[in-house]
Amino acid sequence: MKVLHTSDWHLGQQFYDHSRLEEQQAFLAWLVETLEGEQIDLLLVSGDVFHTATPSAQAEQMLYDFIKSVKATCPQTHLIFIAGNHDSPARIETAKPLLERFDSHVIGRFDRKDPSRVVVSLKIHSENVFVVAMPFLRPSDINASQDELSRYENAVRMAYEQACATIECNGSLYTYLYGPSSC
């Protein structure tokens, strides 16, 4: 399985009066060519897909045109978009039901009441693949009674425990992160 990992696209960003639209479109065109040329199975975009929590219609259209182009050129490629601190969790998930029909998954928010929402299940080369797609954690997503590091660690632990409960866990990654596991 081939995975290409990127982040910080910041679609829609402008520097004062200078639009970055052309360079962003050139990057996305290059990325489609790379996905095709390298026969990438999974593109993972981990945070800051957009530059603001309220991206322009043009920035959103750029993302949807990119997805359409990837699926036309590389129909086997799965895409996962994870919200970063610049992205609106709710807004990035708005098109979730539609995008899933194009092997594109968006994770906007971690829900401590339902950590399974960050576990993405894929079928790649007839194999079941599970990705724990942890978005940027906001104070409302995690337990506010702990210090920041403990809150983050607890949320990550909950996500991996959910992944272990979802799949037949051999414990190697979980053990590496947290010690022996009962998965």
Domain positions in the chain are: 3-108
In Å, what is the CA distance from 171 to each residue of 25, 149, 179? Answer: 41, 23, 9
- DSSP classification of residue 77: -
Tens-digit pLDDT string for the chain (183 aa):
999 999 999 999 988 888 899 999 999 999 999 999 999 999 999 989 999 898 999 999 999 999 999 999 999 999 999 999 998 888 889 989 999 888 899 999 888 888 888 889 898 998 888 888 989 887 777 766 666 667 778 888 888 887 777 765 544 444 334 444 444
Contacting residues for 123 by C-beta, under 8 A, at least 6 apart: 129
Name the pairing type of β-strands 42-46 and 78-82.
Answer: parallel
CATH class, 3-108 region: alpha beta
Contacting residues for 55 by C-beta, under 8 A, at least 6 apart: 11, 12, 91
| pTM: predicted TM-score of the whole model, two decimal places | 0.83
Question: Alpha-carbon distance 135 to 82, whole Å?
Answer: 5
The set of catalytic residues is 86
